């Protein structure tokens, strides 16, 4: 491997002591990983915090085979070493990357094909908040959901990292965006982000409001992380030929569906997970994003909604904030020397 600067043998990283609460996230000294073929070693500046990290900490979402036990699915920082087969010009670049784990650490290996360059004007904190949400939204809303300009997108969890990214990207690409939130304050925040309609699901029937807003037609695409009893409710407020894309099952993995209605309205039910997908898929997804979405990032049009930045040592506090549900947008960890929010 090539070295851009002196790389220590050990680093500070977060380990999960045992499945449980946020207090199980503890700072440890671990060996600095070595990049394998097709990989780069990144000196991490910031790491994004995501709901799958919480599930991993709880013991409900183990890392895929070969992935680090250290949590963290997205990072930003400087490329300081290259594995075999990586273009020499990547050395010294500032990048953000989607990784299968290992992000809550001072150094992390990433597949070169899953790295995106950090453009001028994008902070490293913002860069670390992009890969997981942008990859997820791009694949599920546009590749699986086939959303296109002029259509109506319904997003549950409108103030989450995924929800805010779906809103901003959807509006940039000509969609009408409807979101659901759990309070009036969050509805206000969602409208500030750009949602055309924000529905307090605790106070109103979201399906009735969607149908009212669309003149009885319904949503063309639904991005859902609830599942369970939401599944039929989503279908009931979808337009003919609508697509329901499920990316999490916070409301339960089982759902009862009226298939006669599905047939009559020609609905499509699909969904996906990202972490365990093959590297070649994620690299192709990165290429599609680099071509179609990253120019909006480079031009300053697309930015993540940032909530709060915590030091790496305070990862437990970051998880506690995520689980409390009060955050608006992305939570990140400041990892590198001098890293700030």
Distance of CA 46 to the CA centre of its chain: 15
What does the mean pLDDT of the chain come to?
Answer: 96
Q: What are the two backbone dihedrals, phi and then psi, of residue 192, each rounded to the nearest 5 degrees?
A: -60, -35
What is the pLDDT, as a whole number, of residue 70? 98
Domain residue ranges of the chain, discontinuous segments joined by +:
2-130+275-334, 133-271
What is the pLDDT, as a whole number, of residue 224? 98
Strand (E) or helix (H) holding 304: none
What length does the chain have?
A: 341
What is the pLDDT, as a whole number, of residue 4? 47
> What parts of the chain have a pLDDT lower than 70?
1-5, 337-341
Q: Alpha-carbon distance 52 to 225, whole Å?
A: 12
Which DSSP category does 138 fall into?
I
Q: If we measure between CA atoms, which residue out of 27, 33, 40, 36 comes closest to residue 104?
A: 27
What is the pLDDT, as a whole number, of residue 338? 42
Torsion, Cα 301 315 137 111, to 10 degrees, reads 90
Contact 102, 43 (CB under 8 A): no
Q: What are the two backbone dihedrals, phi and then psi, of residue 264, each rounded to the nearest 5 degrees?
A: -65, -35
Contact 102, 33 (CB under 8 A): yes
Q: Alpha-carbon distance 199 to 210, whole Å?
A: 9
What is the pLDDT, as a whole number, of residue 315? 98
The residue ranges of DSSP E strands in 86-161, in sequence order, are 94-98, 107-111, 115-117, 152-155
What is the pLDDT, as a whole number, of residue 339? 44
Q: Alpha-carbon distance 187 to 108, whole Å?
A: 37
Contact 338, 46 (CB under 8 A): no
- Whether domain 133-271 has CATH 3.90.1150.10: the reply is no
Contact 210, 219 (CB under 8 A): yes
Domain at 2-130+275-334: CATH architecture: Alpha-Beta Complex (3.90)
What is the pLDDT, as a whole number, of residue 337? 63
Angstrom distances, CA of residue 142 to CA of 137, 147, 173, 224: 7, 5, 10, 14
What is the pLDDT, as a whole number, of residue 303? 98
Q: Alpha-carbon distance 307 to 327, whole Å?
A: 6
């Amino acid at each position: 491997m090539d070295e851009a600067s002196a790389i220590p043998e050990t680093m500070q990283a977060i380990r999960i002591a045992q499945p449980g609460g946020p207090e199980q996230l503890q700072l440890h000294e671990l060996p600095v990983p070595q990049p394998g073929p097709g990989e780069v070693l990144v000196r991490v500046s910031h790491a994004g915090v995501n709901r799958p990290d919480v599930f991993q900490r709880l013991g409900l979402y183990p890392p895929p085979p070969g992935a680090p036990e250290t949590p963290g699915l997205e990072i930003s920082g400087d490329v300081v070493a290259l594995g075999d087969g990586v273009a020499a010009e990547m050395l010294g670049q500032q990048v953000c990357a989607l990784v299968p784990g290992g992000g809550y650490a001072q150094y992390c290996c990433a597949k070169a094909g899953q790295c995106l360059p950090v453009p001028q004007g994008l902070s490293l904190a913002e860069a670390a908040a992009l890969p997981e949400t942008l990859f997820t939204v791009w694949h599920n809303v546009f590749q699986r959901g086939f959303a296109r300009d002029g259509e109506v997108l319904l997003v549950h969890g409108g103030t989450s990292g995924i929800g805010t990214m779906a809103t901003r990207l959807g509006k940039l690409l000509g969609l009408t965006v409807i979101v659901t939130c759990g309070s009036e304050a969050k509805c206000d925040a969602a409208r500030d982000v750009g949602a055309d309609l924000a529905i307090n699901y605790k106070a109103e029937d979201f399906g009735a409001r969607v149908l009212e807003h669309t003149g009885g037609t319904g949503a063309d695409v639904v991005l859902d992380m609830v599942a369970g009893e939401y599944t039929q409710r989503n279908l009931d407020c979808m337009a003919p030929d609508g697509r329901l894309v499920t990316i999490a099952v916070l409301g339960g993995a089982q759902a009862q569906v009226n298939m006669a209605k599905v047939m009559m309205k020609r609905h499509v039910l699909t969904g996906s997970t990202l972490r365990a997908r093959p590297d070649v898929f994620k690299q192709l997804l990165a290429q599609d994003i680099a071509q179609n979405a990253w120019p909006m990032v480079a031009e300053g049009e697309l930015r993540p909604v940032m909530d709060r930045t915590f030091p790496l040592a305070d990862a437990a506090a970051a998880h506690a904030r995520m689980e409390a549900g009060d955050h608006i947008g992305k939570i990140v960890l400041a990892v590198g020397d001098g890293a700030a929010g």
